[in-house]
Amino acid sequence: MSLHAQTHRLMAPDIAAMKRVKPIVALTSYHAHTAAIADKYCDLLIVGDSLGMVMHGFETTVPVTLDMMIVHGRAVVRGARRALVVVDMPFGSYEESPSVAFRNAARVMKETDCGAVKLEGGRRMAETTRYLVDRGIPVMGHIGLTPQSINVLGGFKTQGRTRDEWPAIEADALALSDAGAFAVVLEAMSAPLAARITEQVPIPTIGIGASSHCDGQVLVMEDMLGLSPRVPKFVKKFGAVATAIEDAIRAYAEEVGARRFPGTEHTYAMKDEPRDLAAVTKKPKKLST
Ligand code: KIV
């Protein structure tokens, strides 16, 4: 039996059962200490491949590797106790075939101890989704704007703003649901289309830039905290963390520059000698030659 049996960690079926019961609260998470804070308020923590942009300074998510996802996934699982942790499969790790996807997703599950993986793509990923779910790997889908396809899409473009785009995106959502996905992320999608999909599919929709019609919401944590220098229109900044970090670093630099930090309360005295910092810090006399 698990040592942590007293804390029930949510599993994919628990999230699926929240549809039409309660709004699902989700954030991305890449770091153990912030995961521990987010875990108190979130049902889902997604270790998204946007970590390539917000943690590593890449321009897109395309360069992110499986090893990077595993390092951050493991940190988040260590920090969180209750939320379901979902780890993104990065570009190139699952598209080739269902068996390649299984091998890489199984590695992610074993090495991070996460509860599910997320794949980008609708109908084209339905067969792979079914293959993974049948073999014990819960899958979250991701449709609408799929940032790993940026080089085909030609930019981070909102999806479904004209009605002729709707049937394909609706078919994507239904195909993933039929294939056994437990939830689906709708990214950067017109509000009426997100509402229609949420109504049509039996699994929860988790919106990011897809309106309050979705069954749940996710944002990139660094964006909503006010840390990311540039954010999409759909992000509301709930904090001003970049300003708080800069204020703290400026104060530190000033105190170090003025020799006000470290003070005596931040230094170690000798165990059996009186604290005499002045004597310790006095410049050594020049030796006469
Ligand atoms: O990588 C990411 O940040 C995502 C979010 C949409 C959850 O996939």
Measured between alpha carbons, how far is 181 from 12 in angstroms, rounded to an integer? 9
- Residue 127 annotated as catalytic: no
Structural domains of the chain, ranges and CATH numbers in brackets: 12-239 (3.20.20.60), 244-281 (no CATH)
Q: Which atom of ligand 1 is nearest to the CA of 49?
A: 1
Residue located nearest, by CA, to atom 7 of ligand 1: 48
**Is the pLDDT confidence value at 129 over 90?**
yes
Tell me which of 187, 199, 246, 254 is the catalytic residue: 187
42 lines ligand 1 (CB under 6 A): no
**Under 8 Å between Cβ of 218 and 209:** no
- What pLDDT is stored for residue 277 in this prediction? 56
146 lines ligand 1 (CB under 6 A): no
89 lines ligand 1 (CB under 6 A): no
**Under 8 Å between Cβ of 37 and 76:** no
Closest Cα partner for 47 from 104, 134, 118? Answer: 118
From residue 270, alpha-carbon distances to 259, 264, 276, 282, 283 in Å are 21, 12, 9, 16, 19
pLDDT tens, residue by residue, 134-158: 999 999 999 999 999 999 999 888 9
Measured between alpha carbons, how far is 161 from 25 in angstroms, rounded to an integer? 26
**Is the pLDDT confidence value at 221 over 80?**
yes
Distance 29 CA to ligand 1 centre (A): 10
Distance 245 CA to ligand 1 centre (A): 24
